Chains A and B, each alone.
Chain A
Amino acid sequence: MASALINVPRKAKRGEIIEIKTLMSHIMETGYRHTSTGEVVPRDIITSFSCRYNGTEIFRADLFPAIAANPFITFFTVATESGKFDFEWIGDRGFTETASASITVE
C-alpha cells in the first residue's frame, strides 16, 4: 500500500522561495540483513526521486541503502508560475510511484 505525503504551499507570491516536503512509504531494504537461517534479504530500495515543475525538472536525488525507510526529502524552489509539481520515485524491482500537487502563484 504505497502512499506519499506531499507538503507544497497552495499559494505563493511570484519569486518567493518555497519549501517542498515529501514522504514516501517504502521499506528501503538495505540488502545487508540476513534471515535467521543465514540468507541475505535482497536489496529493495528507492534509487531515484525527481520533481518537475510544469514539466521542467527542478530537483533530483539519488538514494542509497543509507537512506532511512519511508524516505523523507525536503528541498526548495522558486515559485515562478501557477501550475503543477509532479513527483516521481523509482526503485528496485520496477518500483515506480508518482504524485502531484498544484500551486497558485500570484
Chain B
Amino acid sequence: MMGVVPVVTLRPVEATPAMLAAAVRNVVGEAVVRTGKIKLDIPPLVENGNTVPMTVSVSSPMTPDDFVRSIHVFNEKNPQPNVGNYYLGPRAGRAQISTRIRLADSQKVVAIARLSDGSFWSATADVVVTLAACTDEVI
C-alpha cells in the first residue's frame, strides 16, 4: 500500500520537501488532508537526535462505525521521508501510539491519520535537534 520512494543513484544526504510531499501523496492520493483530530507529541528541543520520544494520538470514539484505520508519520530532512506506519482498527480502544525516532537535523515531523470514513487529518511539529542522527560516521 505504501509506495516506494524513488531510488536515486546519488545517495541524498538530506530528504527534500518534495520527497516528503511525494511520500504523503503515496498514502493519501489526491484526497484533501485537513488539520485537526490528530495530536503529535514530540519534544521541541531534543538532547540527542538518535532517540526522540514521540506520541501520536487521534481523538476518535473508536467504534466499529467510526475509528482510526492507520497513522502515518513522515519527516522532512532525514535521508528518507518515512518514519513509521501504524495500523489500528476498532479493537484498539484508543488511537494512540508511542515510539522513539531518529532525526538527522532540526526539521518538521508530520503525522497523518486515516479514518474509517476515508478522511485524512494531519498535525505537524517543529523539532530542534542539537546532536544529529542517521548520518554519523562509524568510528
Contact = CB atoms under 8 A, between A and B. Distances in A.
User: Could you tell me the dominant secondary structure of chain B's interface residues?
Assistant: loop
Q: Which of A53, A60, A65, A68 counts the most chain B CB atoms within 10 A?
A: A68
17 contacts: A17-B94, A30-B102, A33-B134, A41-B138, A58-B92, A61-B85, A63-B84, A66-B80, A67-B102, A68-B51, A68-B102, A68-B133, A72-B100, A73-B99, A74-B98, A74-B99, A76-B92
User: Could you tell me the dominant secondary structure of chain A's interface residues?
Assistant: strand
B5 to A, nearest CB: 10
Interface of B: 2, 11, 50-52, 75, 78-80, 82-89, 91-103, 133-139
A59 interface: yes
A54 B90 CA distance: 16
A74 B35 CA distance: 24
A77 B102 CA distance: 26
A27 B114 CA distance: 30
Given A34-B137, A62-B84, A68 B50 contact: yes
B59 to A, nearest CB: 13
A65 B91 contact: no
Bin chain A's interface residue count. Answer: 20 to 34
A41 B139 CA distance: 12
Given A17-B94, A73-B99, A76-B93, A65 B138 contact: no
B136 A66 contact: no
Contacts of A67: 83-84, 99-102
B38 to A, nearest CB: 15
A65 B80 contact: yes
Given A17-B94, A58-B91, A59-B88, A68 B100 contact: yes
